[in-house]
Amino acid sequence: MEIILFYAFAVLAIGSALLLVNLKNIARALFLFFIVLFAMAGLYLFALADFVAITQIMVYVGGVLILMLFAFMLSNKELLKDLQDSSGSFLSMPRWQAVVLAIGFLILMIFGITEWHQSIPTWIQQAKENNTEIIPTDNNIQQIGLRFMTFYVLPFEVISVFLMMALIGASHLSRKERNR
Amino acid sequence: MDPVAHISPIYTALIAVVAPFIAFLYQAMAGKRDQSGTISLIGIVCSFISGGITWLAIWNHPIAYAEINWFTIGASTFKVGILLNNLSALMLLLVPTVALPVHIYSRAYMKGDPGIHRYWMYLSLFCFAMLGLVVMDSLLLMYIFWELVGFASYLLIGFWFTRETAVQANKKAFIVNRIGDLGFLVGLAIIFTQFKTLNLVDLFGETGLIYQSAVTNGQWVSPVNSMDQVWLTIAGLAFFLAAMAKSAQFPLHIWLPDAMEGPTSVSSLIHAATMVAAGVFLLATVFPLFNESALIFIAIIGTITAAAAACFALGQYDIKRILAFSTISQLGFMMVGIGIGTWDAALFHLVTHAFFKCLLFLSAGAIIHEMAHLKAHSQLDFDPQDLRNMGGLKKYMPKTFILMSIASLALAGFPLTSGYLSKDSIIISSFEWALSKGDFYLIIPVSLIIVSILTAFYIGRLIFKAFLGELRILDQVQDKLQGAPLHEASKTMLIPMMLLGLCCLFPLFSLNPVSYHDSWLMDGLLLDEYTFAPSHSAHLIIPLILLIGSVISWIIGWKWYVQHKYSLNSNSLALKAAFNQGYINELYQWVFVDGTLKIARFCYWFDRYIVDSLVAFIQFIVLSLSRLSVWIDKYIVDGIVNAVASVAYWTGNQVRLVQNGKLQTALYSVFLFVLLGLIYLIFF
Amino acid sequence: MITLTHFLVVSACIFCIGLYTVLSKKNAIMILVGIELMINAAILNFVAFGKYDKVSYGGQIFALFAIVLAAAAVAVGLALVLNVYRHYKTINPDEIKELKDK
Amino acid sequence: MLAFSPYISSFIDQIIVSIPYFKPELTLIITFIGTIIASLFVDKYWDKASFTITIAGLLLSGCYLFGQGLSHVDMVGFFDMIHIDTFATSARMIILLSTLLIAIFIQQRHQHDRPLGDLYAVLLTATLGLNLLTMSSNWLMIFIAVETVSISSYIMVGYFSSNKAQSEAAMKYVLFGSTCAAVMLYGVSLLYGFTGNLNFDAPSHIAGLVEAPKLMISIALLFLLTGIGFKLSFFPFHVWSPDVYQGAPTVITTYLATVPKIAVVVLLSKLLAAWLAVSFYFSDFLAYAIIIIAIATMLIGNLAALRQQDAKRMMAYSAIGHTGILLMAVLVYQNNESNILLFYLSIYTLMNIAVFIFIDSLEVSLGNTSIDSYKGLGKQSPVLFTAFSLVLIALIGLPPTAGFVGKLLIFSKVFEQYQNFQSFGLLALLIVGALTSVISLFYYFKIPLNAFLKDGLDQYVHKSNPLLLGIGLLCTLLVILLGLFPDVLLSIF
Amino acid sequence: MPILSLLIFLPLLATAFILALPTRYKSSYKYIALAFTAVQFVLAGICYAHFDANKTGVQDLAGYQFVEQLPWIRLDLGSIGKLEIDYLIGIDGISMPLLLLSAFVMLMAIGASWNIQKSPKGYFALLMVLNMAVMGIFCALDFFLFYLFYEVMLLPLYFLIGIWGGARREYAAIKFFLYTLFGSVFMLLIIVGLYFSVVNPETGAHTFNMIYMMNPQNYLGDSIFAWDGYQEILGISARLVGFVVLFFAFAIKVPIVPLHTWLPDAHVEAPTPVSIILAGILLKIGGYGIIRICYSIFPDMAALSNWWLGLIGVISIIYGALNALAQKDLKRMIAYSSVSHMGFVLLGIASLTAEGISGAMFQMISHGFLSAALFFLVGVVYDRVHDRNIYSFRGLAQLMPKYTGYIAVAFFASLGLPGFSAFIGEAFVIIGSFNAASVGTGLPRWMALAGSIGILLSAAYLLWTLQRMFFGEIRLKGGESWVNELTDVNSREQLILFPTLALALLLGIMPSLAFSNLNASVLNLVSFIQQFI
Rounded Cα–Cα distance for residues D141 and A156 (Å): 10
Please give the backbone phi and psi of residue B149, each rounded to the nearest 5 degrees, phi first.
-65, -40
* D24 sits in which H/E element: helix D23-37
pLDDT in the model for residue D254? 93
Rounded Cα–Cα distance for residues B343 and B336 (Å): 9
Is E353 an interface residue toward B (CB < 8 Å)? yes
CB contact under 8 A, D214 and B682: yes
A87-140 pLDDT, tens digit per residue, is 445 555 567 788 888 999 999 999 999 888 888 888 888 888 888 788 888 888
Rounded Cα–Cα distance for residues D1 and E329 (Å): 94
Is the pair D, E in contact (3+ CB pairs within 8 Å)? yes
| β-bridge pairing E236-237 and E232-233 | antiparallel
Per-residue pLDDT of chain D (493 residues; tens, 9 = 90+): 456 677 788 888 888 888 888 899 999 999 999 999 998 888 788 878 889 999 999 999 999 999 988 888 888 888 888 888 888 999 999 999 999 999 999 888 866 566 788 899 999 999 999 999 999 989 999 999 999 999 999 999 988 877 888 888 999 999 999 999 999 999 999 999 998 888 988 888 888 888 888 888 999 999 999 999 999 998 888 888 888 999 899 999 999 999 999 999 999 999 998 888 888 888 888 888 899 999 989 988 888 888 788 899 899 999 999 999 999 999 888 766 788 899 999 999 999 999 999 999 888 888 888 888 888 888 888 888 889 999 999 999 888 889 998 988 898 888 888 888 878 888 899 889 988 888 888 888 888 888 888 877 666 777 778 899 999 999 999 999 998 888 888 877 7
Q: Helix or strand or coil: residue E477?
A: coil
Tell me if C93 is assigned to some domain. no
Rounded Cα–Cα distance for residues D126 and A154 (Å): 16
E143-193 pLDDT, tens digit per residue, is 989 998 998 888 888 888 888 888 888 888 888 888 888 888 888 888 888
Is A39 an interface residue toward C (CB < 8 Å)? no
User: Concatenated DSSP letters for E178-209?
Assistant: HHHHHHHHHHHHHHHHHHHHBB-TTT--B--B
From the CA of C11, how many Å to the nearest CA of chain A? 9
Average pLDDT over residues B54-78: 81
Find the CB nearest B678 among D222, D300, D306. D222
Confirm if C79 and A173 have CB atoms less than 8 A apart. yes
Rounded Cα–Cα distance for residues D194 and D212 (Å): 6
From the CA of B650, how many Å to the nearest CA of chain A? 26
Domains by residue range for chain A, with CATH: 1-91 (1.20.120.1200)
Confirm if B66 and B10 have CB atoms less than 8 A apart. yes
Confirm if B406 and B504 have CB atoms less than 8 A apart. yes
Amino acid identity for residue A71 in this structure: A
Please give the backbone phi and psi of residue D43, each rounded to the nearest 5 degrees, phi first.
-55, -25
Torsion angle of C-alpha atoms B500, B504, B508, B510, degrees rounded to 10: 170
From the CA of C92, how many Å to the nearest CA of chain B? 10
Tell me if B212 is assigned to some domain. no
Domain match, B331 and B477 both: yes
pLDDT in the model for residue E367? 92
Q: Is the pLDDT of residue B645 over 90?
A: no
Amino acid identity for residue A169 in this structure: G
Average pLDDT over residues B384-396: 74
Task: Provide the percentage of residues in chain B whose pLDDT is more than 90.
Answer: 0
- Window 331-390 of D, Cβ < 8 Å to A: none
CA distances, C56 to each of A41, A132, B280, E38 (Å): 22, 11, 109, 79
Which of the listed residues B87, B107, B137 is the one where a domain comes to its end?
B137
Is C52 an interface residue toward D (CB < 8 Å)? yes
Least confident of A140-144, D20-24, E22-26: E22-26
Tell me D197's DSSP state.
-
- Window 9-28 of D, Cβ < 8 Å to C: none
Domain match, B346 and B477 both: yes
Rg (CA), chain E: 22
Tell me if B217 is assigned to some domain. no
Kindly indicate the confidence band of residue B600, based on its pLDDT and cuts at 50, 70 and 90: very low
CB contact under 8 A, B652 and D304: yes
Find the CB nearest E192 among D336, D415, D491. D415
Is the pair A, B in contact (3+ CB pairs within 8 Å)? yes
Confirm if B210 and B154 have CB atoms less than 8 A apart. no
User: Concatenated DSSP letters for E318-374?
Assistant: HHHHHHHHT-SBHHHHHHHHHHHHHHHHHHHHHH-SHHHHHHHHHHHHHHHHHHHHH
How many domains does the structure of chain B reveal? 2
CA-closest candidate to residue D180, choices D244, D122, D249: D244
3-state secondary structure B627-639: HHHHHHHHHHHHH
Return the residue of D nearest to E160 by Cα.
Answer: D453
3-state secondary structure B438-459: CHHHHHHHHHHHHHHHHHHHHH
Strand partners, D199: D138
Cβ density class D392-422: b for 16+ within 10 Å, e for less: bbbbbbbbbbbbbbbbbbbbbbbbbbbbeee
Rounded Cα–Cα distance for residues B152 and B131 (Å): 13
- Window 227-246 of B, Cβ < 8 Å to E: 227
How many domains does the structure of chain C reveal? 1
CB contact under 8 A, A104 and B668: no
CB contact under 8 A, B623 and E417: no
CB contact under 8 A, C54 and A127: yes
pLDDT in the model for residue B569? 45
CB contact under 8 A, B147 and E417: yes
Is A113 an interface residue toward D (CB < 8 Å)? yes
From the CA of B653, how many Å to the nearest CA of chain A? 23
* Angle subtended by helix axes B319-339 and B278-285, to nearest 10: 10
From the CA of C78, how many Å to the nearest CA of chain A? 7
CB contact under 8 A, B656 and D307: yes
Kindly indicate the confidence band of residue E229, based on its pLDDT and cuts at 50, 70 and 90: low
Least confident of B577-586, C14-23, D22-31: B577-586
Interface test with B, best of E175, E267, E465, E467 (most B CBs within 10 A): E467
Which of the listed residues B91, B107, B137 is the one where a domain comes to its end?
B137
Is A158 an interface residue toward C (CB < 8 Å)? no
Return the residue of D nearest to A139 by Cα.
Answer: D1
Interface test with C, best of A173, A176, A178, A180 (most C CBs within 10 A): A173
Domain residue limits at B50: 1-137
CA-closest candidate to residue E461, choices E334, E369, E347: E334
Give the B:D interface size as CB pairs under 8 Å: 65
Tell me if B591 is assigned to some domain. no
ipTM (interface predicted TM): 0.81
Confirm if D232 and D323 have CB atoms less than 8 A apart. yes
CB contact under 8 A, D305 and B659: no
Sign of the C-alpha dihedral, residues B404, B406, B412, B418? Answer: negative
- Largest alpha-carbon pair distance within chain A? 64
Rounded Cα–Cα distance for residues D347 and D49 (Å): 31
pLDDT in the model for residue B153? 87
pLDDT in the model for residue B54? 82
CB contact under 8 A, B178 and E459: yes
Tell me if C100 is assigned to some domain. no
Contacts of B160 (CB under 8 A, 6+ apart): B115, B166, B261, B262, B263
Please give the backbone phi and psi of residue B68, each rounded to the nearest 5 degrees, phi first.
-130, 160
Is D492 an interface residue toward E (CB < 8 Å)? no
Contacts of E233 in chain D (CB under 8 A): 427
Q: In chain B, count of helices (H) and strands (E)?
A: 28, 5
Q: Count of CB atoms within 10 A of residue D288's CB?
A: 14
pLDDT in the model for residue B585? 42
Torsion angle of C-alpha atoms D248, D251, D256, D262, degrees rounded to 10: 170
Domain residue limits at C78: 4-88
Kindly indicate the confidence band of residue B484, based on its pLDDT and cuts at 50, 70 and 90: low
Which of the listed residues B533, B565, B597 is the one where a domain comes to its end?
B565
Contacts of B672 in chain A (CB under 8 A): 101
Q: Is the pLDDT of residue B577 over 70?
A: no
Of D54 and E203, which is predicted with more confidence?
D54
Return the residue of A nearest to B668 by Cα.
Answer: A98
pLDDT in the model for residue B606? 52
Chains in contact with A, where contact means 3 or more Cβ–Cβ distances below 8 Å, are B, C, D
Least confident of A13-17, B221-225, D238-242, D409-413: B221-225
Domain match, B124 and B264 both: no
Confirm if E284 and E324 have CB atoms less than 8 A apart. no
Is C92 an interface residue toward B (CB < 8 Å)? no
Q: Helix or strand or coil: residue A119?
A: coil
Kindly indicate the confidence band of residue B582, based on its pLDDT and cuts at 50, 70 and 90: very low
Chains in contact with B, where contact means 3 or more Cβ–Cβ distances below 8 Å, are A, C, D, E
Find the CB nearest A108 among B668, B672, B678. B678
Contacts of C28 in chain D (CB under 8 A): 171, 175
Strand partners, B74: none
Tell me if C95 is assigned to some domain. no
Is D463 an interface residue toward B (CB < 8 Å)? no
User: Concatenated DSSP letters for D296-363?
Assistant: HHHHHHHHHHTT--BHHHHHHHHHHHHHHHHHHHHHT--TT--HHHHHHHHHHHHHHHHHHHHHHHHH
Task: Provide the percentage of residues in chain B whose pLDDT is more than 70.
Answer: 81
Q: List the CATH number of the domain containing C77.
A: 1.10.287.3510
3-state secondary structure E289-330: HHHHHHHHHCHHHHHHHHHHHHHHHHHHHHHHHHHHHCCCEH
CA-closest candidate to residue B681, choices D359, D129, D79, D293: D293
From the CA of D177, how many Å to the nearest CA of chain E? 36
Chains in contact with D, where contact means 3 or more Cβ–Cβ distances below 8 Å, are A, B, C, E
CB contact under 8 A, C86 and A177: yes
Is the pair E, B in contact (3+ CB pairs within 8 Å)? yes
Q: Is E502 exposed, middle or buried (0-12, 13-18, 19+ CB in 10 A)?
A: exposed
Rounded Cα–Cα distance for residues D218 and B334 (Å): 93
Tell me if B206 is assigned to some domain. no
Span between the terminal Cα atoms of chain C, in Å: 58
Confirm if B520 and B509 have CB atoms less than 8 A apart. yes
- Select the highest-mean-pLDDT range: B475-489, B598-612, D462-476, E161-175: D462-476
Is the pair A, C in contact (3+ CB pairs within 8 Å)? yes
CA-closest candidate to residue C46, choices B424, D193, D334: D193
From the CA of D141, how many Å to the nearest CA of chain A? 6
Least confident of B233-247, B307-321, E311-325: B307-321
A37-65 pLDDT, tens digit per residue, is 999 999 999 888 889 999 998 888 888 87
pLDDT in the model for residue D476? 94
Interface test with C, best of B654, B657, B659, B664 (most C CBs within 10 A): B664
Is B629 an interface residue toward E (CB < 8 Å)? yes
What's the whole-number average pLDDT of chain C?
Answer: 88
3-state secondary structure D30-77: HHHHHHHHHHHHHCCCCCCHHHHHHHHHHHHHHHHHHHHHHCCCCEEE
CB contact under 8 A, E355 and B143: no
3-state secondary structure E164-184: HCCCCHHHHHHHHHHHHHHHH
Interface test with D, best of C61, C65, C87, C91 (most D CBs within 10 A): C87
Kindly indicate the confidence band of residue C37, based on its pLDDT and cuts at 50, 70 and 90: very high
Confirm if B412 and B453 have CB atoms less than 8 A apart. no
Least confident of B238-242, B392-396, D484-488, E44-48: B392-396
Is D488 an interface residue toward E (CB < 8 Å)? no
Rounded Cα–Cα distance for residues C59 and E146 (Å): 58
Contacts of B171 (CB under 8 A, 6+ apart): B158, E463, E464, E466, E467
- Select the highest-mean-pLDDT range: B453-457, B577-581, D113-117: B453-457
Of A78 and B18, which is predicted with more confidence?
B18
Rg (CA), chain B: 31
